[in-house]
Each structure stands twice: as structure tokens, then as C-alpha cells.
Amino acid sequence: MLRANIAGLGYCEIAWSDGVLTDVRVLRAEDPAEPFASAGFVDLQVNGVAGVDFGGAALTAEAAAGALRPLWASGVTTFCPTVITNSRQNLARAFRVLEEARRLSPEFAASAPCYHLEGPYLSGGPSRGAHDPQWMHPPDSDEFAEWQEAAGGRIGIVTVAPELPGACEFIECCSRAGVVCAIGHTDGDAADIHRAAAAGARLSTHLGNGCPERIHRHRAPLWAQLASETLSASLICDGFHLTPEFLRVAYGMKGRARSILITDSIHVSGLPPGAYGLAGMPVELQPSGKVVSLANAGALAGSTLRMNQAIARFTEMAGVPLDVALDAATVNPARLLSRWPVCAGLAAGQAANLVLFRPSPGELTILETYLQGRLVTV
């Protein structure tokens, strides 16, 4: 049991037993002297962290499980290991290693309910970002089935460029199977976005990024994604990917229920500045924390963002209250992953995934993180 503020609710008592929340009771109004509690943060897009690359050729099950501690330290209790564009063989291997990590570590299995495949079904044009265009091609259902088998059926999100041949049919098929289809790295137009949404796409992957530098003032896919009433939007609030003005517009269009915070962190998060590789492509971690592609004119190549930073910066950059920002890192991504065992909020019957923190400028100071009722930070 613990007592803490719950943003927007008050100072509360939170109880759990056998890894499950049993009661959340309001005691009084919020107490500014006390810390805050939240459901554990949910990050739908983690390519890597602290030297661990979930799509890397050298990934081992032990290394994958070792990525848990830096994630827990940022308040993340649920995340989707994300594998990006690569060869058919390398992607299959990555998913097999992630499955091995699940067998090796029950904590990894509890923290990583499913995986995110970002590529190779993306545009190889101006929107490709740091992805390697040599591996990009239209969706292939047989290939995807091979990867899904290697992943034990746990590819839960797939990001697709909807203008590719067969993309909408692929989205329909995946959606029927319960896979969340996302739109990303697209050089298509507004009509492509509308077709993808009609086919079942539910998410825009890192909206405002993975798109051309120059766009048509009216027919760009960005506007169609902002205007869609069925697409949620994942957003990277590191100060490099998006401006405060864009975040305010995106929140104004998507509202509280369809705004989702992600980090899109890669393995260089927590490492010193320098040159690194990402899925065979050269990248540079700059002293500022910005990561750029050295193969594509300085395009952004993921981030070094942590979720406790993303939440605080969303409140500052978009001008939203803390409880709204917390929803974007808990309730909203959990809702998207509804078929998977994810803590969706502080309520009786939910898994006791909790984070205790104090708000501070630029980031939330994490005090304790609990996974299924067990303290996992020290």
C-alpha cells in the first residue's frame, strides 16, 4: 500500500495484493508536499536503450532482459520492443531473440507484452528517415507471417506506408488478426491516409516526423492524419522532433483520448556522444542528445528521450495539465494494446504497475517503480 497524489483526483491511498490493485481511495485534496503516483508508463516505441539494440545483429536474450532496469528507472513498466527495417533474416532473428528473452526473464515477459515492427513496409523516398532503403518493399503477407511465427504471435503493432501497393489489403488483414496498424514514413497523399484509416489503421507513428521536409500546402498526408477522427497520434517530445506550436495543434486536433507519448529511443540513449550504427546505417549522437543519420543528410534517427522527460515536456510544450500528459503515457497507449495484458490505469483489478514521482522542470523525478506490485527500482 502507498499514499500519494493522483493528478486530477487528490491525495489517495492505493492498495494491492498478489500483484493486482484492490482499492484506490481518495483521502483528501492534492497535497503539494507529497509525491505523485501514476500507473506505470507505457511506451509503444522503444528501439533500444543503454547500449541494447532490439533489432541489432548482436542482440542476445540476456542483453534484451538487461534493458529493463533503465526503462524502469524512467517509470516505464510496459513497452513494445521495436524492430526497424532490415533484411528478412535479420528481422526473424531479432524476434526469435526477443522470444528467448521472454523465456529467460519473467520480468521481461511482464514488461514487454508485444512487439512493434517499424518497416520494411515504408517509403524509401524523402520520408525514410534513418531507415535503410535497400530493404524497403511493399507489404508481403507470407513474409509477415514468417516474422509473426518467429515472434510467437506477438507482433502487436506494425507501421506501414499506406501508398505502397497492397498496403490497404495488408492493413485490413492485420487488423482482422488484432494487430494494430499504424501509418508512418509515408510519401503518400491525403487520399492514401483516408484509405488506410478506412481499412483499419488506428495510429499515426511519430506524427510530424517520418515525412518529407517539403510538403504540399493542402494535400500533404500530415493534415489528413491530424484531421482523422479514428487515428491516434504518437508524439516525440524531446525538443528536436517537434515544436511547441506543432504539439499544441496536434493536441488540439487529437484531444485527450487520442494523444500518445512515445520516446522512439535507440540504443545510444545513455551512451556518450559519438558515431554509432543503427540497423547497418551510420548515425551520430551529438552532445545535445540529438541523434542524426549520417547517410540521409542529417535526418533524425530516433532519440535519447526518456518517458519521464517526455511527460514533463509535453506539459511544458503543449501547455497541458499533468493528468492529461499522464493519460498520454498510460491510459491511451494501454487502450491501443487492449488485447494484451497492460495496466490501463489506477483502478481495482488492474495490474499493480505503479510509479511514484515528483514533478520537476524538464522531467519527472522517479522515486519508485513497481511491476506487478513488486518494487523494481532501488
Query: Is residue 215 scored above 90 in pLDDT?
Result: no
8-state DSSP, 272: P
Q: Which three cell numbers stand for residue 137?
A: 518493399
Query: Is residue 59 scored above 80 in pLDDT?
Result: yes
Radius of gyration of the chain (CA): 19
Q: Go through 175-203 and write b for each residue having 16 or more CB atoms within 10 A of its CB, e for each that does not.
A: beeebbbbbbbbbbbbebbbbbbebbbbb
pLDDT of the residue at 281: 86
pLDDT of the residue at 341: 87
pLDDT of the residue at 322: 98
Q: Which three cell numbers stand for residue 49?
A: 536503450
Alpha carbon dihedral 190, 194, 197, 202, in 10-degree steps, equals 30
Q: Sheet containing 36-39: give its strands across.
A: 20-28, 10-17, 2-6, 36-39, 354-360, 363-371, 374-375
**pLDDT band at residue 170, thresholds of 50, 70 and 90?**
very high
Query: Is residue 216 scored above 80 in pLDDT?
Result: no
pLDDT in tens, 84-130: 999 999 999 999 999 999 999 999 999 999 999 999 999 988 888 88
**pLDDT band at residue 297, thresholds of 50, 70 and 90?**
confident
H-assigned helices in the chain: 61-66, 68-73, 88-104, 106-111, 141-150, 167-176, 190-199, 221-227, 244-254, 307-318, 322-329, 331-336
For the residues 302-323, what does the mean pLDDT come to?
97
Q: Length of the chain in residues, anyone? A: 378
pLDDT of the residue at 357: 98
Query: Is residue 210 scored above 90 in pLDDT?
Result: no
Q: Is the pLDDT higher at 306 or at 1?
A: 306
pLDDT of the residue at 217: 80
Question: What is the rounded average pLDDT for all residues in the chain?
Answer: 95
Q: Is the pLDDT higher at 213 or at 286?
A: 286
For the residues 25-31, what does the mean pLDDT come to?
96
pLDDT of the residue at 214: 76
Tell me the CA end-to-end span of the chain in Å, nearest whole number. 17
Contact indicator for 47, 54 with CB cutoff of 8 Å: yes
Residues 6+ apart with CB under 8 A from 256: 324, 327, 328
**What's the predicted TM-score (pTM) here?**
0.96
3 state DSSP class of 143: helix
3 state DSSP class of 109: helix
8-state DSSP, 128: G
Share of the chain above pLDDT 70, in %: 100
Residues 6+ apart with CB under 8 A from 32: none
Domains of the chain: 40-342 (3.20.20.140)
